[in-house]
């Protein structure tokens, strides 16, 4: 059995309880060494075989899984954040299906949640944005034409850019072309939840300069949108005149009392 496990955004205590238990029980761990905090591996058994997949190809990863499965071992494939976001797990799952090797997925705290916590922000503010667009700039991996940044920008929604910290001139131009104002608030969150976490705040027009001045080129998320600003409406859920399944509205009489 292969367990795909989300390692969380970096801090060792932000893996799930289930994920940590799977690491403790594993006979073999394959971890994405470029981003997974190696301190998580301290929980592994002494006898556990540990592979850093940063230097391996997909075929080499699969060969380890196949051999370990044949030996009846418990296998953990540790991915950064949550495996469903830019995790390249689909190709592994399909290859395991072809080999009749069973697998399960244990979710993790994605770095975009870690970044929001780091800057103490809420992505979905009433009357500001009720939508979070998770995307990336086009680099060596192509982005489908209909998802080009300029067209996504036309929504003016909250945007989180993964894998784009080295492409900020291009990001700025496309987001401006798509309709964000030059003074739209932005944040760069480097290594959210790691001890070396850094946060740089500014506006869209300054985005490439902000990263350059801070010397940030990778392992960062770019957050864009008015959710970083000061204006928003209060949530209806906690409004006194709003009835929910759990709470009756305070009547206007009662409110006056």
Q: What is residue 106's three-state secondary structure?
A: strand
Q: How far is the CB of 234 from ligand SAH (least distance, A)?
A: 30
Q: How far is CA 93 from CA 5, 58, 79, 98, 236, in A?
A: 13, 11, 13, 9, 41
**Smaller CB separation from ligand SAH, 10 or 185:** 10
Return the bridge partners of 4, or none: 77, 105
Separation of alpha carbons 158 and 223, rounded Å: 8
Backbone angles phi, psi at 9, to 5 degrees: -80, -15
Separation of alpha carbons 77 and 79, rounded Å: 6
**Smaller CB separation from ligand SAH, 14 or 62:** 14
**Smaller CB separation from ligand SAH, 30 or 69:** 30
Question: Residue 149 in contact with residue 212, Cβ under 8 Å?
Answer: no
Q: How far is the CB of 81 from ligand SAH (least distance, A)?
A: 2
Maximal C-alpha separation, the chain: 73
Q: How far is the CB of 237 from ligand SAH (least distance, A)?
A: 27
Binding residues for ligand SAH (CB under 6 A): 9-10, 35, 79-82, 85-87, 110-111, 114-115, 162-163, 189, 191-194, 218-221
**Smaller CB separation from ligand SAH, 87 or 185:** 87
Residue nearest to ligand SAH (CB): 81
**Smaller CB separation from ligand SAH, 12 or 250:** 12
Q: Per the structure block, which two tokens stand in for 51?
A: 């592979």
Q: How far is the CB of 41 from ligand SAH (least distance, A)?
A: 17
Q: How far is the CB of 68 from ligand SAH (least distance, A)?
A: 23
In eight-state DSSP terms, residue 249 is P
């Amino acid at each position: 059995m292969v367990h795909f496990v989300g390692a969380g955004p970096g801090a060792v205590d932000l893996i799930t309880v289930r994920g940590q238990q799977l690491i403790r029980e594993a006979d073999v761990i394959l971890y994405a060494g470029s981003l997974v905090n190696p301190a998580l591996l301290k929980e592994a058994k002494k006898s556990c075989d540990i592979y850093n997949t940063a230097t391996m190809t997909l075929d080499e990863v699969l060969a380890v899984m196949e051999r370990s499965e044949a030996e009846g071992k418990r296998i953990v494939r540790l991915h950064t954040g949550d495996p469903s976001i830019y995790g390249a797990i689909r190709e592994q799952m399909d290859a395991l299906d072809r080999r009749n090797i069973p697998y399960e997925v244990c979710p993790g705290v994605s770095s975009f949640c870690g970044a929001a916590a780091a800057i103490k922000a809420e992505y979905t503010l009433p009357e500001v944005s009720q939508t979070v667009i998770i995307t990336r700039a086009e680099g060596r991996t192509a982005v489908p034409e209909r998802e080009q940044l300029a067209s996504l920008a036309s929504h003016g929604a909250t945007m989180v850019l993964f894998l784009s910290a080295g492409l900020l001139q291009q990001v700025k131009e496309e987001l401006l072309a798509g309709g964000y104002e030059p003074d739209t608030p932005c944040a760069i969150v480097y290594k959210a939840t790691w001890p070396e976490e850094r946060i740089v705040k500014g506006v869209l027009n300054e985005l490439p300069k902000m990263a350059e001045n801070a010397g940030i080129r990778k392992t960062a998320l770019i957050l864009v949108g008015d959710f970083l600003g000061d204006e928003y409406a209060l949530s209806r859920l906690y409004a006194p005149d709003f009835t929910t399944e759990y709470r009756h509205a305070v009547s206007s009489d009662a409110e006056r009392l």
